[in-house]
């Protein structure tokens, strides 16, 4: 039987679907989400229907609609027609909304002959422009955003501060200015610093750690750091290395999340073995989030290879997502669902005994009162216990029973999930 089908049977019996957000929540995350591409929502029904599915994606991010050039195309003139598209879908479906992004060197507007990036600003005038922008945009979405990317991509890959009108005007003071303005505009949303290539734990990561410390030392609020996760098949760090890097930030008292995950092939079409490697890479990233208390969720930067920013930016590369161009689920989808399912069915020993724990909430908050029919065997049972039909019996991170009740046998479906079939 095909794994998604197997998982569907198991989780349907337990009261949840084997879809990514349901599995992620069952595994203890707040969400599994995707960005939504404004242009395709009303033109592609298949795309829209998948995006609408809260069991698959419990959180959405506007891909472009909330950026500065979209929201304040003329100075002091605000428009939300694009930003409201994805926000509206999330609202309609009861999905969380991640909001993206406020102070970024890119996608800045042209304001006649006075551009944000090219204008001759002093501290006072540019601070007023930043505060006006943040106040208006966050004001419009007040109460709707689980989190906001307040400052985006302020560090170069070599660990130096990225040049921008903000850096040249304020040096690093613009971080605290932006986070303070954000707190004033919407005190109840999580305020994030968001960047790519933090995953490699090198000079750029060191500088991002410093950024968080700078904001904190200024007495300004910062709640989270977003690891964008624009990664490359075969060059993605291991699960444990990724977890180590995430923990550098949670040690500072902020939460972390993967915010724009995609893992691209260096050349397409990908071979079948490259598709498997891609699946393992995705599982390592998602698994690292599961391994770190304080990693709240994973967002992929689009779900279908049909629509992705990558081929335009990296010609000849791509196919970086979980669904192919025909909306078929790729091996990477199976790997992600498996690593989530493994955690959902294998909560820490002190917390539970059966699959019933996955029906309502993260393991720490649940009880073990029902649905013994799904799995009568303790997930953390001592040696000798035998798993029932459909139950997990192996896989990376699994510490429960590895034998199956007769006549079922333990079959390896992938490195993360073996099952009694």
Q: Which is nearer to ligand 9MR, 100 or 239 (CB)?
A: 100
Nearest to 67 by CA among 144, 166, 134: 134
Q: Which is nearer to ligand 9MR, 227 or 417 (CB)?
A: 227
> Which residues form the interface with ligand 9MR (CB under 6 A)?
63-64, 106-107, 228, 260, 309
240: enclosing H helix or E strand: helix 239-250
Contact 57, 17 (CB under 8 A): no
Q: Edge-to-edge strand order for the sheet containing 417-420?
A: 392-394, 417-420, 410-414
Residue 63 CB, nearest approach to ligand 9MR (Å): 5
Q: Which is nearer to ligand 9MR, 22 or 63 (CB)?
A: 63
Q: Which is nearer to ligand 9MR, 257 or 356 (CB)?
A: 257
Q: Kindly name the residue from 153, 199, 210, 255 that is annotated as catalytic.
A: 153
Residue 378 CB, nearest approach to ligand 9MR (Å): 43
196 φ, ψ (degrees, to nearest 5): -105, 165
Residue 18 CB, nearest approach to ligand 9MR (Å): 28
Q: Which is nearer to ligand 9MR, 192 or 309 (CB)?
A: 309
260 is catalytic: yes
Residue 67 CB, nearest approach to ligand 9MR (Å): 7
* Residues constituting the chain: 421
Cα-Cα-Cα-Cα torsion 362, 260, 229, 416, nearest 10 degrees, comes to 40
Contact 116, 165 (CB under 8 A): yes
| Residue that has been written with the tokens 């970024």 in this structure | 104
| Residue that has been written with the tokens 């969380």 in this structure | 96
Cα-Cα-Cα-Cα torsion 254, 256, 260, 261, nearest 10 degrees, comes to 160
| Residue that has been written with the tokens 């046998």 in this structure | 409
Residue 102 CB, nearest approach to ligand 9MR (Å): 12
Helices (H), 15-96: 20-26, 38-41, 45-51, 68-71, 83-93
| Residue that has been written with the tokens 């990693």 in this structure | 295
287: enclosing H helix or E strand: helix 272-290
> How far apart are alpha carbons 285 and 246 in whole angstroms?
11
Nearest to 223 by CA among 187, 260, 173, 170: 187
Q: Kindly name the residue from 56, 63, 72, 260 that is annotated as catalytic.
A: 260
- Cis bond upstream, residue 269 (ω within 30): yes
Pairing of β 255-264 and β 230-232 = parallel
Q: Which is nearer to ligand 9MR, 223 or 260 (CB)?
A: 260
Q: Which is nearer to ligand 9MR, 22 or 199 (CB)?
A: 199
Helices (H), 101-194: 123-140, 165-170, 173-185
Residue-wise burial string across 28-67, b where 16 or more C-beta atoms lie within 10 A, e elsewhere: bbbbbbbbbbbebbeebeebeebbbbbebbbbbbbbbbbb
Q: Which is nearer to ligand 9MR, 264 or 343 (CB)?
A: 264
Active-site positions?
153, 260
């Amino acid at each position: 039987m095909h794994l998604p089908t197997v998982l569907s049977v198991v989780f349907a019996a337990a009261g949840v679907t084997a879809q990514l957000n349901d599995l992620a929540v069952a595994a203890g995350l707040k969400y599994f989400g995707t960005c939504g591409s404004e242009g395709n929502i009303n033109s592609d029904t298949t795309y829209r229907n998948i995006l609408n599915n809260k069991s698959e994606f419990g959180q959405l991010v506007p891909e472009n609609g909330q950026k500065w050039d979209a929201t304040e195309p003329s100075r002091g003139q605000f428009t939300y027609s694009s930003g409201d598209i994805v926000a509206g879908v999330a609202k309609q479906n009861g999905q969380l909304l991640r909001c993206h992004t406020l102070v970024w060197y890119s996608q800045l507007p042209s304001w006649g002959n006075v551009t944000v990036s090219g204008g001759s600003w002093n501290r006072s005038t540019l601070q007023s422009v930043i505060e006006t922008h943040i106040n208006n945009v966050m004001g419009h979405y007040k109460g709707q955003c689980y989190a906001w990317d307040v400052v985006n991509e302020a560090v170069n890959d070599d660990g130096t501060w990225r040049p921008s009108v903000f850096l040249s005007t304020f040096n690093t003071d613009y971080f605290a200015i932006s986070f303070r303005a954000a707190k004033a505009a919407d005190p109840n949303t999580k305020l994030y610093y968001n960047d790519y290539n933090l995953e490699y734990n090198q000079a750029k990561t060191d500088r991002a750690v410093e950024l968080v410390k700078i904001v904190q030392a200024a007495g300004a609020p910062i709640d989270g750091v977003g690891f964008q996760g624009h990664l490359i098949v075969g060059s993605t760090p291991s699960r444990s290395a990724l977890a180590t890097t995430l923990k550098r930030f949670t040690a500072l008292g902020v939460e972390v999340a993967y915010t724009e995950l995609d893992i691209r092939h260096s050349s397409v079409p990908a071979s079948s073995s490259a598709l498997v490697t891609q699946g393992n890479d995705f599982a390592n990233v998602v698994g690292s989030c599961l391994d770190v208390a304080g990693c709240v969720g994973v967002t992929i930067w689009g779900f279908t290879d049909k629509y992705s920013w990558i081929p335009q930016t990296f010609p000849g590369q791509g196919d970086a997502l979980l669904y192919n161009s025909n909306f078929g689920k790729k091996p990477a989808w199976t790997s992600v669902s498996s690593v989530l399912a493994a955690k959902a069915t294998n909560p820490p020993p002190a917390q539970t005994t059966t699959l019933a724990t996955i029906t309502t909430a993260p393991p720490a908050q649940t009880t073990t009162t029902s649905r013994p029919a799904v799995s009568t065997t303790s997930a953390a049972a001592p040696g000798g216990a035998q798993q029932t039909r459909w139950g997990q019996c192996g896989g990376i991170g699994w510490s429960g029973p590895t034998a199956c009740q007769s006549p079922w046998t333990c079959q390896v479906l992938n490195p993360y999930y073996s099952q009694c079939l």
